[in-house]
């Protein structure tokens, strides 16, 4: 039995040492909400003619995370959140610009315009935007939010190419037969309305569902039956990504998706890109 006492003593000692390890765990204590300051909160009208001019400068404070073992030395992740006023940073298209450790960001007019365009609000109309900073530790833990800064900003439409009045798809990838039988429209041919895009905003055209002949070529034209203007691939003919790529005026033929089925086609003149879904 005496021997058993020694064994119990040893096990107990082991447990005691084990418990010591649990006590060294570092715990989060508190943080201070960052303070977001913007160089100006006055109404702002962005102007294409001044696209390279300096615009707003955002700065925010470090949230001074504190832990049981002292001050924070870990990197801090910041997200500059931008949303339409009144959405409480909950809208589906809200914008988040991520930073690691940085505590300021300056925008040129064009950068700010392009960033705000992500909300897809009407251009040339004053819109109420809200900005705030979300600060987290690198594993996205213990988020803390800054004050909200509201600014009324008028954006401009910044398209890559002038937006045509109408847009059609033509070529063997498209379903409608053409008078010459090769799938490409002829000069003077009557417009095929099923291959006409719907303009869904000032810079985006869409066809919700169009049966595509797989693996065939196509082009986009502003006037059906008139080859004076067309939009094609920016690179070598038929070497584009079939599910979507960049376009330019007078570009080369696109190759369509390989599978024959109905697709939703979107053409965006703000980005100069199109997509098949």
Partner 1 sequence: MKIGFKLIAVVALMAVAVGCVKLIEPTPSFAPSTVAFSASASATTVAAAAADSTKAALTVTWNDPKFSVGLKNSKFTVMVGKAGANFTTFSAKEFANTLSGDLTGKELNGMALKFGGVIGQPVALEMMVVASQANNNEPKKSAVIPVSVTAFSGFGLAASPATITTNPATPSATGVTFSWNKAFSGFTGVITYELQHAKNGTSFATPTVVAVTGFTRAFTHLELNSIALGYDVAPSVAGNVQFRMKATNELGAISYSSTSTVAITPYIAINSVGIIGDATPGSWGTDTDLYRPDASKPSEWEVVVYLIGGKEVLFREDDLWGTKWGVGGKGGANIPIANSGFYRAKLNVATGVYSFTPLTVPSIPNGLSLTGDGIGGWGVDTNLTQSPTNPNVYTGTVSLTVGSVKFRHTGDWNINWGGPAGDNDPANYPSAWGKGGGGNIKINTAGSYFAWINIATGEYFFGNTSNSTSYTKLGIIGDATPGGWSTDTFLIQNPSNPFKWSGKVVLTAKEAKFRANTDWGLSWGNATVFPIGIANTENNNNIKIASAGTYQITYNSATREFSFTK
Q: Which positions touch partner 1 (CB under 8 A)?
A: 2-3, 6-7, 9-10, 13-14, 17-18, 20-21, 24, 26, 37-40, 50, 52-54, 57, 59, 61-62, 64-65, 67, 69-76, 101-104
Taking the least distance from each CB to partner 1, the nearer of 64 and 199 is 64
Least Cβ distance, residue 27 to partner 1 (angstroms) = 11
Taking the least distance from each CB to partner 1, the nearer of 66 and 189 is 66
Taking the least distance from each CB to partner 1, the nearer of 2 and 188 is 2
Least Cβ distance, residue 10 to partner 1 (angstroms) = 5
Cα Rg of the chain (Å, integer): 29
Least Cβ distance, residue 8 to partner 1 (angstroms) = 11
Measured CA distances, 63 to 138, 141, 215 (Å):
13, 13, 54
Least Cβ distance, residue 246 to partner 1 (angstroms) = 27
Least Cβ distance, residue 18 to partner 1 (angstroms) = 8
Least Cβ distance, residue 56 to partner 1 (angstroms) = 9
Taking the least distance from each CB to partner 1, the nearer of 18 and 139 is 18
Q: Can you tell me the distance from the alpha carbon of 150 to that of 133, in angstroms, rounded to the nearest whole number?
A: 13
Sign of the CA dihedral 86, 89, 93, 99?
positive
Taking the least distance from each CB to partner 1, the nearer of 57 and 180 is 57
Taking the least distance from each CB to partner 1, the nearer of 27 and 193 is 27
Measured CA distances, 204 to 91, 170, 227, 263, 272 (Å):
20, 18, 22, 16, 10
């Amino acid at each position: 039995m005496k021997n058993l006492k020694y064994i119990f003593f040893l096990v107990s000692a082991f447990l005691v040492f084990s418990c010591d390890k649990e006590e060294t765990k570092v715990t989060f204590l508190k943080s201070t909400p960052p303070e977001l300051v913007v160089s100006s909160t006055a109404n702002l009208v962005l102007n294409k003619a001044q696209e390279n001019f300096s615009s707003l400068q955002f700065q925010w404070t470090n949230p001074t995370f504190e832990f049981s073992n002292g001050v924070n030395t870990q990197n801090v992740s910041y997200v500059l959140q931008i949303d339409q006023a009144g959405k409480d940073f909950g809208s589906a298209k809200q914008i988040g610009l991520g930073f690691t450790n940085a505590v300021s960001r300056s925008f040129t007019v064009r950068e700010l315009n392009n960033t705000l365009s992500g909300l897809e609000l009407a251009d040339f109309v004053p819109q109420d935007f809200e900005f705030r900073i979300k600060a987290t530790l690198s594993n996205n833990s213990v988020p803390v939010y800054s004050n909200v800064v509201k600014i009324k900003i008028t954006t401009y439409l910044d398209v890559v190419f002038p937006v045509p009045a109408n847009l059609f798809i033509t070529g063997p990838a498209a379903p409608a037969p053409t008078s010459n039988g090769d799938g490409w429209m002829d000069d003077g041919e009557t417009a095929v309305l099923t291959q006409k895009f719907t303009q869904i905003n000032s810079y985006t055209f869409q066809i919700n569902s169009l049966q595509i002949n797989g693996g065939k070529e196509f082009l986009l034209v502003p006037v059906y039956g008139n080859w004076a203007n067309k939009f094609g691939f920016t690179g070598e003919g038929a070497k584009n990504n079939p599910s979507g790529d960049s376009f330019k005026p007078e570009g080369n033929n696109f190759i369509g998706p390989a599978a024959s089925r109905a697709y939703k086609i979107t053409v965006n003149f703000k980005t100069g890109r199109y997509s098949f879904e």
